[in-house]
Amino acid sequence: MPIRVQNDLPVKEILESENIFVMDEHRAMHQDIRPIKIGLLNLMPLKEDTELQILRSLSNTPLQVDVTFVMVSGHVSKNTPTSHLNKFYCKFNEIKERKFDGFIITGAPVEQMLFEDVDYWEELKEIMEWSKTHVTSTLHLCWGAQAAMYYHYGIDKVQMDHKVFGVFWHKVLNRKIPLVRGFDDVFLAPHSRHTEIPLNLVRKDERLTILAESDEAGLFLAMAQAGRQIFVMGHPEYDRVTLDQEYKRDLGKGLLIQMPVNYYTDDNPESRPLLTWRATANNLYTNWLNYYVYQVTPYDLDGTPF
């Protein structure tokens, strides 16, 4: 499928080198088709890495996808050049009158803080409330999923006694639900977090449906409102080397960090990490776009109330 991006977005060249069909603005203007409009609220510090990971994940569908990068106003990014943000990102107040077919809220490295202590929490609450009336389906990732569970359903995250770090086995539940169509009975997916949403509290809430969980890593995938809200507690979009970079970064800082599990061949951190979750990640994003965005969203997006 063509991913529509701005002509000079830096990660465009990388995507093209991977044979991912990327369409620039000029070519997109000459196609008689309404693209699926996806907003990406990127809360990760290394924004260009996340752009690449998410765009790659959205690429396995015949639909044309028009991605708008969004940032919060109440936080200054220290790891992404201001020039990049000014050129390729919109602030929320610049897009809040628009409607989107789909919206993605990423994780953020603030999971050990109280939600209320995060400097952009009030703005994020406004965005999550806005998504209920301006977005067909919202996909929340890792800390973004924890924040949404807390805001929408009052289920708070809890601190774990160890970091869930590595690639973990999960089992599929509710197989008839289209979001997990094509999944194997068990599958691998990456996690990197110190907190979790208690499974027992999610099970008790009849508004929430659990689709996949892990004996070691806990909740992985849940949904609400027939797919208008989807929660992913791990990082299926991660690249092959993302956990490797996190591990070696923390080692370099002298932090106590265990080796990521089920990741390196023979648990040798000098070996090339195994990529064992890409097919599942592609399946998840394709199912989301197909069953919960494309087949649900109205053609006249701006003129149809949600």
Residue 306 reports pLDDT greater than 60? no
Q: Is 170 a catalytic residue?
A: no
Closest alpha carbon to 63 in 299, 286, 298, 300: 286
Q: How far apart are CA 291 and CA 133, in angstroms?
A: 19
Q: How far apart are CA 181 and CA 75, in angstroms?
A: 38
pLDDT in tens, 197-248: 999 999 999 999 999 999 999 999 999 999 999 999 999 999 999 999 999 9
pLDDT, position 31: 46
Q: How far apart are CA 153 and CA 219, in angstroms?
A: 15
pLDDT in tens, 40-85: 999 998 899 999 899 988 887 777 889 999 999 877 777 788 888 8
Q: Which of 134, 140, 152, 235 is catalytic?
A: 235
Any idea which residue has 């999944």 for tokens? 183
Task: Decide if 287 contacts 178 (C-beta within 8 A).
Answer: yes
Q: Which of 51, 140, 142, 196 is catalytic?
A: 142
Closest alpha carbon to 1 in 290, 302, 292, 295: 290
pLDDT, position 3: 58
Q: For all residues of the chain together, what is the average pLDDT?
A: 89
Q: Which of 48, 51, 111, 237 is catalytic?
A: 237
Q: Is 90 a catalytic residue?
A: no
Q: Is 194 a catalytic residue?
A: no
Token digits for 235?
């990082």
Within 10 angstroms of residue 27's Cβ, the number of other Cβ atoms is 12
